[in-house]
Amino acid sequence: MGKRKEYIGTVVSNKMDKTVVVVVERLVQHPLYKKYIRRRKKFMAHDEGNVCEIGDRVLIEETRPLSRHKRWRVKKILERAPKFEAAAEETSSEEVSQP
């Protein structure tokens, strides 16, 4: 049996239940001009525990079809996205308190 494909990408949406959208970037060389171009593709991946947040770097693995669009699952979270919630709350309260 063949090895399953694996990609590393960034979570851009987690609004669905147990599903995340992961963007995978790759560099391809233009056949005529030889310039490297950044290509992106979005994959819907299964997130069993709803643990992925927007901005996380994840490893996704090919799997059997889970729904109409989902054929990938999150294998591992490689890097967590930085949290900025406290800083955002402070700036919003300062704006309101000014006369």
In CATH, 6-97 is 2.40.50.140: yes
Residue 34 backbone zone (phi > 0: left; psi -120 to 50: alpha; other: beta): left
pLDDT at 97 over 80: no
Measured CA to CA, the distance from residue 17 to residue 3 in angstroms comes to 28
Measured CA to CA, the distance from residue 72 to residue 63 in angstroms comes to 5
- pLDDT reported for residue 83: 85
pTM above 0.75, yes or no: yes
The string of pLDDT tens digits covering residues 28-72 is 999 999 999 999 999 999 999 999 999 999 999 999 999 999 999
Strand 72-79 relative to strand 36-46, pairing: parallel
Question: Which has more pLDDT, 98 or 85?
Answer: 85
Question: Which has more pLDDT, 2 or 3?
Answer: 3
**Which residues neighbour 54 within 8 Å (Cβ) at sequence distance 6 or greater?**
11, 12, 13, 14, 81
Residue 50 backbone zone (phi > 0: left; psi -120 to 50: alpha; other: beta): left
Note the helical H segments in the chain: 85-97
